[in-house]
Structure formats: structure tokens, C-alpha cells
Amino acid sequence: MFFFQRASTQISPAHRKFNSDKRLFNMPKNSKRSVSQADKELFEKVLSDVIPIERSSSSRDPYQETVKIPEQRSGLKFASENLNNQTKELSSPEPLFLNDFLPGRAPGLDRSTSTKMAKGQFKIQGRLDLHGMTQQKAYVALTDFIQGAYREKKRNLLVITGKGKRQERADSDFFEATDGVLKRSVPVWMAEPPLRNLVLAFSTAKKAHGGTGALYVLLRKA
């Protein structure tokens, strides 16, 4: 008969550590088993050799950066600026209608220029015929014409408005000459922004240039 004696098994420290590491990393992720003191010590031992990465001074945390919001003008500030612009436009004196003054006596206009305009001795540098246009088209045409002449440093202009049509009066046996719409409107347009800043004076033209159906227009110096 043979007798077998069970040999005592001796486990080396390295083998024990391997088994412990294997047990730690093979642990189910969703395991709710409490961590033993040995596992905690093993985990702390593993982390003891880890060297933390130094954070570069040039690195930036995108969550800590300040976003610069563009400045927006408030409605009140915008309204104030708009009012100031309108006030500036109205600061220019209203154009002179030379027919209201004696020749050479218009305030703010030198005697020689005033006299030449009154006598029709006006060297015309630009001409615009509004006759037959609607008010809307005439206004656009007049504005473009005067602004263009001002940019080109032209000062002496002739604007033809037309004399208007004769209308029959119900209580009369004769026809009465009435002023045309454009003849009445053009002086008003020139006395309001944006044209009032460009027009210095105007007067009724002489017969050779259209008479009461036309205006001499003198622009301010550019």
C-alpha cells in the first residue's frame, strides 16, 4: 500500500500579487460588492507611482473663457442720435427767395450775385426740366440733380417747373391761370432737408429762360 502525503503549497509574494491584481481587474463593472481593505490598499499602491501631469500655463479652459458680447445701441440712444442728425440738417438757414427782396438786398448774399440773378445775367451750369412729371418722379429727379451738381461744384442751375394749366371756373365765363403743382412744390422741397443744406437762393427766371415756369437756383459753395 502506498501512502501519499499532501505537500504543503507555498505561494510566492509575486504570485499572490498577480492573483490580487487579476481579481481586481476582473471584477464586474456593475458589481455592488463592497470593496475590501486589501483592495483599497492595492489600489492606493498602484496610484502611488502615478505622476500627475503638470498643467501648462498656456493651456486654457474653454469653460472659463469670457465671451465678449458686441455692444448694442439701445433704442433710446439710437433715437437720440437720429434726433441730433435731424437737428443738424435743420441748422442750415432756409434758402432765400430773391423775389421777396429788392435787387441786391438779399441778406446773406453778395450784392453782385443777387443783382445778376434778378436781371437774368445768370450763367447756367445745369438745367433740369420737370415739366409733365408726377410729383414723385419730379422730387426724385430734383434731388438727384441738385446733389449731383453740388458734388461737381456747380452752383448756377435752372429748374423748369412749368406754369400749370388753365382751369375753367364754374362761376365765371373766363379761364383763370392757376399755378401748377410742381411750381408750388419745388420751392417747398428746396426749403426742406436734404436740399436746404445745398440751396442758398432761388428766384423766378427771366422770360428767355422760362419766365414764371422756371427758377434760377443758386447752390451753396461745396
Read off the CATH number of the domain in which 142 is found: 3.30.1370.110
Three-class DSSP category at 175: strand
Residue 51 lies inside a defined structural domain of this protein: no
Cα distance between residue 198 and residue 190, in whole Å: 8
Whether residue 85 is predicted with pLDDT greater than 60 in this model: the reply is no
- The CB density around residue 133, as the number of other CB atoms within 10 Å, is 16
Residue 3 falls inside a structural domain: no
Q: In this structure, what DSSP letter does residue 132 have? A: T
- Nearest CA-CA partner of 113 in 203, 40, 210: 203
Say yes or no to pLDDT of 26 above 70.
Answer: no
Between CA 205 and CA 156 the distance in angstroms is 12
Per-residue pLDDT for 43 more than 60?
A: yes
Residues spanned by the domain of 198 = 103-219
Average pLDDT over residues 54-82: 47
Q: How many CB atoms lie within 10 A of CB 222?
A: 11
**Is 73 contained in some domain?**
no
Contact 94, 196 (CB under 8 A): yes
Average the pLDDT over 96-110 and give the result: 74
- Strands (E) located in 73-220: 96-97, 126-129, 156-160, 166-168, 175-177, 199-204, 214-219
Q: In this structure, is residue 79 part of a structural domain?
A: no
Query: Residue 180's closest CA among 120, 143, 141, 135?
Result: 135
Q: Is 61 within the bounds of a domain?
A: no
Least confident of 35-39, 95-99, 175-179: 175-179
Of 123 and 53, the structure prediction assigns the larger pLDDT to 123
pLDDT surpassing 90 at residue 39: no
- Residue 88 domain-assigned (yes or no): no
With contact defined as beta carbons under 8 Å apart, do 92 and 197 qualify? yes
Instruction: Return the pLDDT at 208.
Output: 92
**What total number of domains does the chain contain?**
1
The residues facing 162 across adjacent strands are none
85 assigned to some structural domain? no
DSSP 3: -
Average pLDDT over residues 113-132: 90
* Vertex 98: Cα angle to 96 and 166 (nearest 5): 105
Q: Is 22 in a helix, a strand, or coil?
A: helix
> Quick one: pLDDT band at residue 163, thresholds 50, 70, 90?
confident
**pTM of the complete model:** 0.55
DSSP notation for 25-70: HTS-TT--PPPPHHHHHHHHHHHTTPPPPPPPTT---TTTPPPPPP
Pairing relationship of beta strands 199-204 and 214-219 according to DSSP bridges: antiparallel
Domain contains 26? no
